[in-house]
Amino acid sequence: MNFRVIAKYMGRILQLEGIFMTPAILVALIYKETGTIIPFIATIMLCELLGYLLAKVKQNDEGIYAKEGYISVALGWIILSLFGCLPFYFSGYIPNFIDALFETVSGFTTTGSSILTDVEALANSMLYWRSFTHWLGGMGVLVFLMAVVPMSNTKGGGEGLQLMRAESPGPTVGKMTPTLKDTARVLYTIYFAMTVILFVALVIAGMPVFDSITTAFGTAGTGGFGIKGNSMDGYSNLIQFIVAIGMMAFGINFSIYYLVIMKKLNEAFSNEELKCYLGIIAVATILIFFNIKHIYDNSGVALLDSFFSVSSIITTTGFATANFDMWPQLSRFILVAIMISGASAGSTGGGVKVSRLMILLKTIKREIQSVIRPRAVKTVMMDGKPINEAVIRNTLSYFAVYWFIAIGSMFLLFALDGFDTETTVTSVMACINNIGPGLNMVGPVGNFSMFSPVSKLLLSLNMLIGRLEIWPMLLLFSPSVYKNTTKR
Amino acid sequence: MKVVVVGGGKVGQLLTQLLVEEDHDVVAIDNREDILELIQTNYDVAVVHGNGATVEVQTEAGVGESDLLIAATSSDEVNLLCCVVANMLGATHTVARVRNPEYDHQIEFLRQKLGMDIALNPEKATAREVFRMLQYPSFLKRDSFAQGRVELVEIKIPDDSALVGKKLMESKDILRVNALICVVDRDGDVFIPDGHFVLQAGDRIMVAAEGAKLINLMRSLKLTKKPIRDVMVVGGGHISRYLAQLLEKSRVNVTIIEQDRAKCEELSTELPKATIIHGNGTDQELLLSEGIRDMDAVITLTGMDEENMIISMFANSLDVPKTVTKINRTEYINVLTKAGIDTTVSPKLLVANEIMRYVRTIYHDESELYCSLSGKVETLYRLANGKAEALGFTVPVDGNYLGKTLMELKLKPNVLIASIIRNYEVIIPKGSDCLMPGDSIVVVTTSDQAIIKLSDIFASEI
């Protein structure tokens, strides 16, 4: 294990975090929140100092292989969260360190679950930083690092791919351009441009500027931290509609936008995952609409609410315009089902990912056929291309491990706090899929404050496992990784 | 520059590595997914899975917008088709590897008709390289600069050489030719020596000299071996065939040993003057009975690295003056020099280097003006297993180093100006020479230096 290179990456991540924290001071100055300036400055100085020292660790020529990549990503996210929560803790807005950590992990992993009972009591600079963690966590920190810093320290430069694979969601991660740096830049440029477009649209629709910034961050990262107690309920229908479309857009694989920019429209629109993703949204919206229509006076609002909720849950954002916890059982169940499906691979959303589910279904179909015709040879196809057997194997084990972790966490949560089934099950599902709200006590109007500290740490871990798609976090805890016997 | 490499075999991977090292955007195409995965985890490139000769795959790889397509699959026909398709799609340059001797005669025709830039034949290139080595058997390696006007040759200092124990500044009297010792490789440690450097027996030195003076250099170093008259070639593949043709033309007696009866018959019809022996080249008795002791050179060209090594070591033990060993696994060249196998050839390395040379020319054609204005590196040769580099520059019109003598200009440590070519004339520089605009110069340095433009070679701002 090459600990030196990991230390270097950790240093770079901390330095970057410090830089990204500085705009919060500006917000504090604008709103004259003198009490929050010192905590931010203290945290930034801590990040820069420690980051500088770590980045200076002398490198050897051992290079970076897959395991170093995975460990760097897992450790990087933990460090990011540990330092990211300090402003909340130092300023006293969240006096309990574990609560502050939970809130920050929830931010970076774009979950959006909160332990705050009264969001509106938070200072604007804190709200800004809390929402910004969504934006940074959405596309990934190491991807950003790759776009700005030359990461390669060996001649080939292929090792960056390990980092990107560990951090980017989806069963397969491909490069859009020959060099990783360009790919990372393309991703962040699209991401940035779409965020700006959303922000401008929100301002035009009449949302206050500060609300627009934080909402744009929350939507772009598919995070879901609101700055109002009632999330998006208080805004006009137009704003709600824009946010719903925005969430849907950020749940689409970013390489599709790249294809559109490159004018390869046919390829972009014939993407199977895209069709499936949009199909699920349409069907779920229609089903919920007919299920909840009778509660509403105005069926237009009912349609908007069902579309908004579906878009918010499937992209794992977690904004709410209506308390869907009060909806009929069928609608509640549909929402839990699309929680698991999640958004598209290569988007900022979480969950299992539509493409994984498609691979699973196609593999099941093949298994059934192989029972009927044991000698038949059939490749699983996606977008007209065969799927590599290694990807299929990875997807199957991913799904299995996903459920093991989810059920194990639920078991622990029952043992620790003993809340009712709906609360416990949906809180784990909301965390591991990076959604935010669940049902019952953790529903759109509830929050996670009543969990015990150990449960909060467990749920934080679930969020990280969900965001980094299991393997990096699992590797971090497997002892065999640290033995210095194997390379590659 | 955007380059598409079709075929992820030995040559394809080596090319990918070299291209990435020189900061080109590379897309690799292959029909084996595991190979693509390997390439992707080793090098920062994009990969496309599929048959590289199809329009779909080439379109996906963006061949139409790329500057160069290199077709290096194992099949000549696929390579040619790749180039045809790439031309249709609008790639600016195309290069194909074509190795079948049957196509070799029509290569010019194919090039013109199919619109290829160059077609490379690794076997033919290897044969030519071996032939070049046999011309001056005392040189382990030869690299040419400025159309052969300057040569950089590698010599191993024998125990009884006059150079042993001498400082470099005293070497001028021994060399007696205008030549400069630029690199010393002592058991794998590479030095750029200064005047006080003391040479030892067994050092491998690289000497820059005017191409026409090579003979004189050999004479003054007392390295003149008697010209090669009798050559034994073990293995009767394509390389041997090309090599034997070249050797026959210069009236060298060739003995080829080949295991396969049918191949022997083919060879004997094509090479009427050569002696073709049907037998196993690893059989000591056979080698001895065919007179390996009396050979001036033994060239091992079988398909197996191990066989080549063993035969060469056997020839060395019999004091055959020159052995040339074909090696495919270039990673092990370091170990081989320790085992006394000095002169090796590797078809894959030769082809990759030739293609890279071509890549640099087209890259610089497009930016030639830019290069000569800014003084950026134009050519690059790797020396001493990549531990040292020879770089070619054109001196720009506006450098503050112009007009000063080399003595006044402080160079960075481990940097040396090996030669200056001014108006078709070669100058091996001394302290009193100076740089003039338009000069082509060759700079030798260790490869850990980051030198991108000419001004980087000076120690500080002047």
ipTM of the complex model: 0.73
The Cα–Cα gap between B281 and B326 comes to 14
**Number of Cβ atoms within 10 Å of the Cβ of A317:** 37
Query: Rounded to a whole number, what is the distance in Å from the CA of B72 to chain A's nearest CA?
Result: 19
B38 and chain A in contact, CB less than 8 A? no
Q: What is the pLDDT of residue A157?
A: 61
DSSP 3-state assignment of A95?
coil
> Are B207 and B244 contained in the same domain?
no
Quick one: average pLDDT of B53-68?
91
Q: What is the pLDDT of residue A292?
A: 93
Query: Rounded to a whole number, what is the distance in Å from the CA of A99 to chain B's nearest CA?
Result: 40
Quick one: average pLDDT of B205-212?
83
Q: What is the pLDDT of residue A156?
A: 54
Residue A475 phi, psi dihedral angles, 5° rounding: -65, -35
Check: CB of residue B256 under 8 Å from CB of residue B278: no
State the best of A161, A165, A263, A385 to mutate against chain B, taking most chain B CBs within 10 Å. A161
Q: What is the pLDDT of residue A282?
A: 96
Show residues of chain A in contact with B27, CB under 8 Å: 178
Query: Rounded to a whole number, what is the distance in Å from the CA of B108 to chain A's nearest CA?
Result: 33
Check: CB of residue B183 under 8 Å from CB of residue B192: yes
CA dihedral A391, A394, A399, A403 (to 10 degrees): -170
Show residues of chain B in contact with A146, CB under 8 Å: none
B43 and chain A in contact, CB less than 8 A? yes
Higher-scoring residue by pLDDT: A388, B312: B312
Cβ contact B2–A178 (<8 Å): yes
pLDDT > 90? residue B140: no
Nearest CA in chain A to B57: A385
pLDDT > 70? residue B460: no
> Are B235 and B215 contained in the same domain?
no
**A67, amino acid identity:** K
Show residues of chain A in contact with B42, CB under 8 Å: 156, 158
Cβ contact B44–A155 (<8 Å): no
pLDDT digits (tens, 9 = 90+) for B269-309: 988 889 999 999 888 899 999 889 889 999 999 988 899 99
> Are B332 and B397 contained in the same domain?
no
> Are B37 and B75 contained in the same domain?
yes
Cβ contact A158–B42 (<8 Å): yes
> Are B367 and B404 contained in the same domain?
yes
Q: What is the pLDDT of residue A486?
A: 47
User: Which among A136, A107, A110 is positioned nearest to A122, based on CA atoms?
Assistant: A107
> Are B247 and B333 contained in the same domain?
yes
Nearest CA in chain B to A163: B41
Q: What is the pLDDT of residue B436?
A: 83
Show residues of chain B in contact with A176, CB under 8 Å: 46
Query: Rounded to a whole number, what is the distance in Å from the CA of B20 to chain A's nearest CA?
Result: 7
> Are B28 and B90 contained in the same domain?
yes
User: Which among B224, B223, B207, B212 is positioned nearest to B171, based on CA atoms?
Assistant: B207
The CATH number linked to B330 is 3.40.50.720
The Cα–Cα gap between A207 and B64 comes to 46
In a domain, B206, yes or no: yes
Residue with structure tokens 């299995």?
Answer: A400
Question: Which of B220, B243, B264 delimits the end of a domain?
Answer: B220
Q: What is the pLDDT of residue B391?
A: 81
Lowest mean pLDDT among B18-27, B151-160, B191-200, B442-451: B442-451
> Are B322 and B425 contained in the same domain?
no
Q: Please give the interface size between A and B, counted as residue pairs whose CB atoms are below 8 Å apart.
A: 48
B223 and chain A in contact, CB less than 8 A? no
User: Which among B294, B305, B306, B316 is positioned nearest to B348, based on CA atoms?
Assistant: B305
Q: What is the pLDDT of residue B110?
A: 80
Cβ contact B27–A160 (<8 Å): no
Show residues of chain A in contact with B43, CB under 8 Å: 156-158
pLDDT > 50? residue B160: yes
Nearest CA in chain A to B43: A158
Structural domain that includes position B102: 2-120
For the ranges A152-166, B45-59, B319-333, the maximum mean pLDDT occurs at B45-59
Among positive and negative, which fits the CA dihedral A351, A352, A353, A357? negative
Nearest CA in chain A to B19: A156
In a domain, B129, yes or no: no
In a domain, B330, yes or no: yes
Check: CB of residue B393 under 8 Å from CB of residue B374: no
Ordered mean pLDDT values, 10 residues apiece, chain A (488 residues): 85 92 93 90 94 87 76 92 94 92 94 89 92 92 79 57 77 77 89 96 94 94 87 90 95 92 87 94 95 91 94 92 90 92 89 92 93 88 86 92 95 93 93 90 88 94 92 88 60
Q: What is the pLDDT of residue B375?
A: 63
Number of domains in chain B: 4
Check: CB of residue A433 under 8 Å from CB of residue A405: no
Candidate from B2, B33, B46 with C-beta closest to A175: B46
Cβ contact A179–B43 (<8 Å): no
Cβ contact A158–B40 (<8 Å): yes
Check: CB of residue A164 under 8 Å from CB of residue A143: yes
A178 and chain B in contact, CB less than 8 A? yes
Query: Rounded to a whole number, what is the distance in Å from the CA of A62 to chain B's nearest CA?
Result: 14
Q: What is the pLDDT of residue A63?
A: 67
User: Which among A431, A487, A426, A473 is positioned nearest to A456, based on CA atoms?
Assistant: A431
Q: What is the pLDDT of residue B206?
A: 86
Interface of A with B in 116-135 (CB under 8 A): none
Residue A121 phi, psi dihedral angles, 5° rounding: -75, -15
State the best of B44, B45, B47 to mutate against chain A, taking most chain A CBs within 10 Å. B44
Lowest mean pLDDT among A43-52, B61-70, B209-218: B209-218
State the best of A64, A70, A155 to mutate against chain B, taking most chain B CBs within 10 Å. A155
Nearest CA in chain B to A183: B46
Cβ contact A156–B42 (<8 Å): yes
Cβ contact B45–A161 (<8 Å): no
Candidate from B27, B33, B43 with C-beta closest to A157: B43
Quick one: average pLDDT of B69-79?
92
User: Which among A23, A19, A36 is positioned nearest to A87, based on CA atoms?
Assistant: A36
Interface of A with B in 147-166 (CB under 8 A): 152, 155-162
Candidate from A155, A161, A385 with C-beta closest to B41: A161
A384 and chain B in contact, CB less than 8 A? no
Cβ contact A158–B41 (<8 Å): yes
In a domain, B421, yes or no: yes
Candidate from B17, B27, B46 with C-beta closest to A156: B17
CA dihedral B353, B359, B363, B365 (to 10 degrees): 90
> Are B238 and B345 contained in the same domain?
yes
Candidate from A156, A174, A385 with C-beta closest to B44: A156
Q: What is the pLDDT of residue B368?
A: 53
CA dihedral B39, B45, B46, B51 (to 10 degrees): -50
**Structure tokens belonging to residue B376:** 């950026």
In a domain, B267, yes or no: yes
The Cα–Cα gap between B444 and B418 comes to 6
> Are B288 and B264 contained in the same domain?
yes
The CATH number linked to B204 is 3.30.70.1450
In a domain, B127, yes or no: no
Q: What is the pLDDT of residue A433?
A: 92
The Cα–Cα gap between A84 and A160 comes to 24
Nearest CA in chain B to A63: B42
B1 and chain A in contact, CB less than 8 A? no
pLDDT > 80? residue B360: no
Show residues of chain A in contact with B26, CB under 8 Å: 178
- Of chain B, the end-to-end C-alpha distance in Å amounts to 33
Q: What is the pLDDT of residue B366?
A: 61
Candidate from A160, A176, A388 with C-beta closest to B44: A160
What is the bridge-based pairing of β-strands A385-386 and B275-278? unpaired
Interface of A with B in 53-72 (CB under 8 A): 66
User: Which among B53, B112, B104, B48 is positioned nearest to B80, based on CA atoms?
Assistant: B53
Show residues of chain A in contact with B33, CB under 8 Å: 388
Query: Rounded to a whole number, what is the distance in Å from the CA of A10 to chain B's nearest CA?
Result: 22
In a domain, B462, yes or no: no
**Structure tokens belonging to residue A223:** 């995070």
Q: What is the pLDDT of residue A387?
A: 87
Check: CB of residue B277 under 8 Å from CB of residue B255: yes
> Are B365 and B405 contained in the same domain?
yes
**Structure tokens belonging to residue B354:** 């030739």
User: Which among B296, B136, B129, B126 is positioned nearest to B207, based on CA atoms?
Assistant: B136
In a domain, B283, yes or no: yes
Q: What is the pLDDT of residue B234?
A: 94
Q: What is the pLDDT of residue A5?
A: 84
Nearest CA in chain B to A488: B41
B25 and chain A in contact, CB less than 8 A? yes
> Are B317 and B336 contained in the same domain?
yes
Check: CB of residue B281 under 8 Å from CB of residue B234: yes
Show residues of chain B in contact with A160, CB under 8 Å: 44
The residues, ordered by sequence, that sit 6+ positions from B394 with a Cβ below 8 Å of its Cβ are: B371, B372, B375, B378, B438, B439, B440, B441
Candidate from B21, B33, B44 with C-beta closest to A179: B44
B35 and chain A in contact, CB less than 8 A? no
